[in-house]
Amino acid sequence: MRALRKTGPGPGLELVEIPEPEPGPDEVKVRVLRAGLCGTDLHLHDWDEWAAATVTTPMTLGHEFFGEIAAVGSDVTHLKVGQKVSGEGHIVCGVCRNCRAGRRHLCINTVGVGVHRDGAFADHVVIPATNAWVQPDDIDPDLGALFDPFGNATHTALSFPIAGEDVVITGAGPIGVMATAITRHVGARFVVVTDVQDFRLDLARAAGADLAINPTRTSLRDAMAELGMREGFDIGLEMSGAPAAVTSMLDTMNHGGRVALLGLPHASYDVDWGRVITHMLTIKGIYGREMFDTWYAMSSMLQTSQPLRDALGSVITHRVPAERWQDAFAAVRSGHCGKVIMDWS
């Protein structure tokens, strides 16, 4: 089968032929139909310091995917060949304290598909049966491939009650845009999105942002004045990993405001902890998805809202055949894109 692999240490990837994997007793083999690119894949392609310390080669990349079950292991009874599934890319141990307490997203032994074991940039991928999320037969394959990043957005956006609240989202990458659509769906009053890429601000507006601003030209306080806000934002969703964005967000939070941080910074940075304390702000770190509460929330929201499905679909700006994987990576690097999907069908 075809597989896009890191064949050895160092920058670059190769599309090569390798044997098809076979599922173990408690696993399923999925025929991949669509796979999405993530910033993690760029780090692995470039072989930065984190990648070199994390990945053992050879390794097939890819952890955002949708496909069809092609085979099930001997102990798998709740799934069958032909079902459409998305994959949860975090594989947990099941025996650490958090796993046994039902907090699997906090597993200290998490293994990443496409990072620590072969992933979904291939014709087939094998995952534990418990990591396969069954989708409706008529789901758009492109939307099915979004469930990993859509889950990140859902986990972040729903960390705090947002109905009727004023929300600021820093970072209009694909996950920030999806979070915009979620906050609009759930019923936030005002949603303001910031990014330094005007292309991505247009995506945020299409997803339901009341204002989408470039902070190099318009400040968050200017946005508050335009919307008639006097007291500050109630909820902050940080998707950029940019220190300046975090600073401006914290500077405009209302007393008692709540902030969820998903964006990973490249290095540590200063935070005005005096403001956090005196304004009694709550700050919560987010990583991945809650397994599997987030997945139930995603499916339920999509089943009940055509506007939300449309907004999610609008995040996808590039659809590329797997053979042209270099074009897919180039699109992500350009910054002039939303979500980039590779077609493996």
- State the angle between helix axes of 174-186 and 306-314 in degrees (0 to 180), rounded to the nearest 10: 160
Beta strand 166-170 pairing with 253-261 = unpaired
The conformational region for residue 26 under phi > 0 = left, psi -120 to 50 = alpha, else beta, is: alpha
DSSP symbol at 327: H
Among 293, 311, 289, which residue's Cα sits nearest to residue 302? 311
Per DSSP, the residues of 265-288 read: PSS-----HHHHHHTT-EEEE--S
Which sign, positive or negative, has the C-alpha torsion 67, 71, 77, 80? Answer: positive
CA distance 317 to 69: 27
Active-site entry in 40, 130, 180, 252: 40
**For this structure, is 45 an active site residue?**
no
Cα–Cα separations (whole angstroms), residue 101 to 95, 148, 151, 214, 300: 9, 23, 21, 43, 25
| Cα Rg of the chain, angstroms | 20
Q: Are 63 and 119 in contact (CB under 8 A)?
A: yes
Active-site entry in 7, 43, 116, 247: 43
> Would you give the distance in Å from CA 55 to the centre of its chain?
20
Beta strand 132-134 pairing with 84-87 = antiparallel
**For this structure, is 40 an active site residue?**
yes
Hey, which residues are catalytic here? 40, 43
